[in-house]
Amino acid sequence: MADPGQLPPTTSDQTEASDWDTALIITDDWMKTIPPERRHSGWEAVERQWIGNMQSQQPKDSRPTREFTKKEYEAIERFPCPQKTLPIPQLEFDFRMRVILSSQSASVAVNDGFKKLSTISDGSWSGRFGYGLVVNGGQESQDTIHGKTTATWVEGIHRLQTGDEIPAYIECKTRGHMIGPSELVKALQDPEASASVDPRSCLFRVFVTMKTTDERYAEKLNAGMWIGSCLWKGLEVIYDAYRVS
């Protein structure tokens, strides 16, 4: 595994050059061990504010705040195997990935709309199982409009390179949606218009899977599943991946 004291070579675009705060909703102890100089500008202030907001929003009473509807009662009556209790999935923060999309993209007609194809020009990642670069990959996206709401379907394939002396290569697939008001979703995907838009104004979640033939990482990654909380602004997309256990 990569030595955490040595970082892989990076380009000038990778050295925390974003002009927007990328801190997402993380309270994991592992993230708190990252040295302050490796955090984005404004990280600690945002982190403190988020923790304070979460504490103030803790419910004082766990009882239901409303009565069930007739349809909900009917569903409860038909609930399969009600006597069995299944394990509840848990989420644990695992890694962050940042990718820069190429400014050149292509549009392909699909049914009554268009699918946008983009390649990845740069990127990096770091987490519990190592760190490294995003060396190749691409992304497909397509907008589906429902009234005043737009759901952008996003599917990406990323080739990750680890920071080991002899690097391993990992195939990382992402699939999900960014949802929000139509004008905001479109603005966030525009390199110029996105400068004045808060990326948190739209909900962006993805499902993540990874695969590698390298024995150093195969057991850790090939059978794993992750849920990603993401931000998209212009040509930059950032993923925080939480492992499902």
Q: What is the pTM of this model?
A: 0.74
CATH of 88-244, one of 3.90.470.10, 3.30.590.10, 3.40.50.300, 2.40.160.20: 2.40.160.20
Residue 233 · residue 188 · CB < 8 Å: yes
Helix (H) or strand (E) holding 91: strand 91-110
Centre a 10 Å sphere on the Cβ of residue 126 and count the other Cβ atoms it contains.
19
Give domain limits for the chain.
20-55, 88-244
> So what's the pLDDT on residue 203?
96
pLDDT along the chain (245 residues), means of 10: 46 48 53 55 53 61 73 88 90 96 85 83 95 95 89 95 98 97 93 92 96 97 97 95 96
Centre a 10 Å sphere on the Cβ of residue 71 and count the other Cβ atoms it contains.
8
Reference 126, options 42, 50, 30; nearest CA is 30
> In Å, what is the CA distance from 155 to each residue of 100, 175, 182, 197, 213?
15, 4, 19, 23, 22
